[in-house]
Amino acid sequence: MKSPKYLGSVNDMKTREKRAFDTQAMWHDQLSDVYEYFLPQRNLFETENTGQKKMDRIFDSTSLTSIQQAASKLQENIAPIQARWAAFQPSNEVLELLKTGEFGVTEEQIRENLDKQGEIVFDYINRSNFGTQFYEAALDLLIGTATLRIDETDDEMNPIVFHCIPQKGIAFEEGPFGNIETHWRRFNVKARLLERMWRGIEISQTIRSLIDNSPDSDVSVSEGVVFEPKAKKYYGCLWVNNEDRFSWIEDFGETSPWVTGRYTKVAGEVRGRGPAMQCLPDVRSLNKAKEFVLQKAAIDLAGMYTATDDGVTNPYNLTIAPGVVIPVGSNNTSNPSIMRLDTGTSLGLAQFEITELQNSIKLALFNDLRDPAGPVRTATEIAIESRELAKRIGSAFGRLQTEVLIPILKRVVAILTRRGLIMPIQLDGRDVDVKFPSPLARAQDGEDLLSLQQAIQFVANNAGPELIATSFKIEDFGSYVARKTGMASELVRSNAEKQQAIQAGAEASAAQQQMSQQPPNLQAVE
């Protein structure tokens, strides 16, 4: 298969892939540890055997339940299930150009059209498996790095499918500005599935023989989606069983099917670091402390005993376990044949330390904000929790918007546009801006509204209420509040309607004033 002009040869791609996976290998031990304690069911760094026990070394479930609740909370506040968590709006540049009147359309018409296109986009997103896959991505994200794959299907009703890809077997390359541009993946595939998974794949004679004679055999696959800046496109490429040829190449255009987000990022590192990774020392300590407490409790219940023995006791053969009998030369002066051994103090201090460690883990994963088993929350309580969460992950939220939410929308829009389901939309910030009216974004907008309220109150208290109208654009307050609260565009007056309402109010006020100034009709009174 001939490669495109800017893609490079298969040897070039193999060199880049190897370099990326060499960097990935440096994270193996750390990722294995953090996944073992937080997400053992997704820990593929040690083994990939199906049905293997994953929790043999877990003695406390605080980390497991905390990260699950944190992922649910993250999804609820960033991309709620079956909700429209983003809105399309004309950019400031477009709004300035509309003021010239040379385009023949109004701002209200553009906003209405973008609102309709947004409804279609989220209708298809909510039809897909986005909700379940984003939750799994949120779990990975709390550890540090999450990767989603967005593919196009042949289904007319559900043309989009999402896959949360486990971090084992994935490597990345950054662009010049720290964004992830290129994805590499190594994995095994059943030979019979190759032609179904990659459209237009060219099978070599060796692989064809394998498909015909042993279709369930595993073949190793290396897949890459590479961004080429000269072409400004993403190219997919693939080779099978380390063959010196491309088996598949695809032009993805300006959007990549891969989306990778990082919770926070350290300079010089490609992968991200999340709150789970940061509190890993506490989790290790808690797990070990809980293990010792359980052992101590078992010993206290079953006891340990000493028994007299005429022989010489070998200390290296002693077993410390509940119910064990340790042979000794003599128990005490009365020398009973068997005696219970004193096993030490109570567990009060250890339990105190365990509680402190559990609270520390819950705090790191936002589980201190509310009790999941508590009563149903009011709207005010939900708003307060969202504002508190916004304060804690405000910086991470900006990164998630840039690295996860906007690339997802761009990819979905590209697929729907190619299928002719929506009009072309340029989500580049120059034509169309993306607004995120999610609970977490609204919490941040609530802070803006609070600042506005404080500014107005300050002017009124110190300069007089009459100065408010001269200092601020009172006529634009309603539109500003509507945008910040996520109000539907059809409920907001257009500029023309706003002027008509202002004029009608002025005329009504003038008529009322004129009537009040007229002398009373004495004849009518009589």
3-state SS, one letter per residue, for 111-122: HHHHHHHHHHHH
Q: Which residue has the tokens 């088996």?
A: 247
Residue pair 259/240 in contact (Cβ under 8 Å)? The answer is no
Residue 372 pLDDT = 47
Neighbours of 163 (CB within 10 A): 14
Q: Collect all residues with Cβ–Cβ distance below 8 Å to 370 and sequence separation of at least 6.
A: 377, 381, 385
Residue 109 pLDDT = 86
Residue pair 275/66 in contact (Cβ under 8 Å)? The answer is no
The SS3 assignment for 269 reads coil
Q: Which residue has the tokens 């365990």?
A: 354
Residue 345 pLDDT = 58
Q: Collect all residues with Cβ–Cβ distance below 8 Å to 96 and sequence separation of at least 6.
A: none
Summarize pLDDT for 471-483 with one digit per residue, the tens: 777 777 777 777 6
Break the chain down into helix, strand, coil percent, rounded to 5: 50, 15, 35
Residue 113 clears pLDDT 50, i.e. is over it: yes
Residue 182 CA to residue 59 CA, distance in Å, equals 39
Residue 145 clears pLDDT 70, i.e. is over it: yes
- Which DSSP letter does residue 405 get? I
Residue 486 CA to residue 388 CA, distance in Å, equals 20
**Which H or E run includes 433?**
strand 432-435
Residue 462 CA to residue 484 CA, distance in Å, equals 27
Angle at 436 between CA 430 and CA 442, to 5 degrees: 135
Q: Where are the beta strands (DSSP E) in 98-247?
A: 145-152, 160-164, 170-174, 180-190, 218-228, 233-240
Neighbours of 96 (CB within 10 A): 9
Residue 526 pLDDT = 44
Residue 307 pLDDT = 61
Q: What are phi and psi for residue 164, nearest 5 degrees? A: -90, 115
Summarize pLDDT for 165-182 with one digit per residue, the tens: 999 889 999 998 889 999
Terminal Cα-to-Cα distance of the chain (whole angstroms): 105
As a whole number, mean pLDDT of residues 390-402 equals: 81
Summarize pLDDT for 69-107 with one digit per residue, the tens: 999 988 988 898 888 899 898 888 888 888 777 777 888
Q: Binning pLDDT at 50, 70 and 90, where does residue 221 land?
A: very high
Residue 393 pLDDT = 77
As a whole number, mean pLDDT of residues 410-432 equals: 89
More confident residue, 240 or 494: 240
What does pTM read for this prediction? 0.79
As a whole number, mean pLDDT of residues 271-290 equals: 92
**Percent of all residues in the chain with a pLDDT value above 90, rounded to a whole number:** 43
As given in the structure block, the two tokens for residue 487 are: 């109000």
